[in-house]
């Protein structure tokens, strides 16, 4: 098969090296040799220790905490690769930070998701590979190809194996009105009905649960969202399903486990039986929570990278 560059190389920053190593292991290639460090004042420096001239290069870097450091690492690595004459540079961003700032919610708001897209393009990225963007229209912020992989096939496979024939008494729940389309697609794949938790957000990172739309009484529920940040929305939604909807049990899953601030404590103290997350953001220490389980995205990203390198369709990964 024809490939874009003379060979394929994968590099990683400091945000999620374990995932990059797993991807390389699955593809049977060696992780690229590079050093990403800091000067004494905190400035990022990048040194590449192997030739990338003409290569098809993939840089694996989730822009997760510390968000700004991770983003700068990615931008500087892309610049270093571009100046070293890489044939093509793909920014592999399992988690795309700043995606929640995708529109002007009120007067004089920035649209930071667009700014980040501009910065990636200006740095020299030729394409972007990511997963479960907070808003799928962010793809349109770029003038370069963007492949937005879906995490729901991983969760569908997990829950189909976990519950099997018990799925008949289960419902998928959207934690808010804005996530309905995402949750509906997930419910259809699992052949389950859909319920919605209607909430009203008073201010950032705080929400007030109002009502449960749909009959969840006596049901085992799976809350499906794209990310868990402070955990407030998720835990309040789960409590509403038990208190208002009289659900039998609540499981939850989300693609990106940001888990900032009191998130882990909230999950531990919540009515949620288990929270399944993808490892787009590095996993927390298992000792901190017995309720949180991680599923790996490495096989999906490895296949996507292989297909991009060989110039064949990746649409198979969306099914």
201 φ, ψ to 5°?
Answer: -85, 125
CA 113 to chain CA centroid, Å, is 15
Angle at CA of residue 65, ends 60 and 67, nearest 5°: 75
For the record, the structure tokens of 265 come out as 């404590």
Of 95, 105, 101, 103, nearest to 133 (Cα)? Answer: 95
Known catalytic residues are 199
The length of the chain, given as a count of residues: 319
Distances in whole angstroms, Cα of residue 40 to Cα of each of 13, 75, 195: 18, 20, 52
- The DSSP line for 32-65 is PPEEEEE-TTS-EEEEE-S--BT-EEEEE----S
SS3 state at 288: helix
Of 97, 91, 158, nearest to 296 (Cα)? Answer: 158
């Amino acid at each position: 098969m024809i490939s874009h560059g003379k060979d394929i190389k994968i590099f990683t920053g400091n945000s999620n090296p374990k995932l990059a190593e797993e991807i390389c292991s699955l593809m049977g290639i060696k992780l690229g040799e590079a050093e990403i460090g800091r000067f004494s004042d905190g400035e990022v420096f990048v040194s590449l220790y192997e030739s990338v001239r003409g290569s098809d290069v993939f840089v694996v870097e989730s822009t997760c905490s510390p968000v700004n450091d991770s983003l700068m690492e990615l931008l500087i690595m892309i610049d270093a690769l571009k100046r070293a004459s890489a044939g093509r540079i793909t920014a592999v961003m399992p988690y795309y930070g700043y995606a929640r700032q995708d529109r002007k919610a009120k007067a004089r708001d920035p649209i930071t998701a667009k700014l980040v897209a501009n910065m990636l393009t200006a740095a020299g990225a030729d394409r972007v590979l990511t997963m479960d963007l907070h808003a799928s229209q962010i793809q349109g912020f770029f003038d370069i190809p963007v492949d937005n992989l879906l995490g729901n096939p991983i969760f569908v496979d997990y829950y189909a194996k976990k519950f099997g024939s018990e799925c008949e008494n289960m419902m998928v729940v959207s934690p808010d009105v804005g996530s309905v389309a995402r949750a509906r697609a997930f419910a259809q794949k699992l052949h389950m009905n859909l319920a919605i938790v209607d909430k009203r957000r008073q201010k950032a990172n705080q929400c007030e649960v109002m009502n449960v739309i749909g009959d969840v009484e006596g049901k085992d529920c799976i809350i499906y969202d794209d990310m868990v940040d402070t955990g407030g929305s998720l835990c309040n939604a789960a409590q509403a399903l038990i208190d208002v909807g009289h659900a039998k049990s609540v499981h939850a899953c989300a693609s990106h486990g940001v888990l900032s601030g009191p998130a882990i404590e909230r999950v531990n103290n919540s009515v949620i039986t288990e929270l399944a997350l993808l490892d787009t953001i590095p996993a927390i220490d298992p000792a901190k929570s017995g309720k949180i389980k991680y599923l790996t995205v490495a096989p999906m990203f490895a296949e996507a990278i292989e297909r991009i390198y060989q110039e064949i369709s990746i649409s198979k990964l969306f099914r």
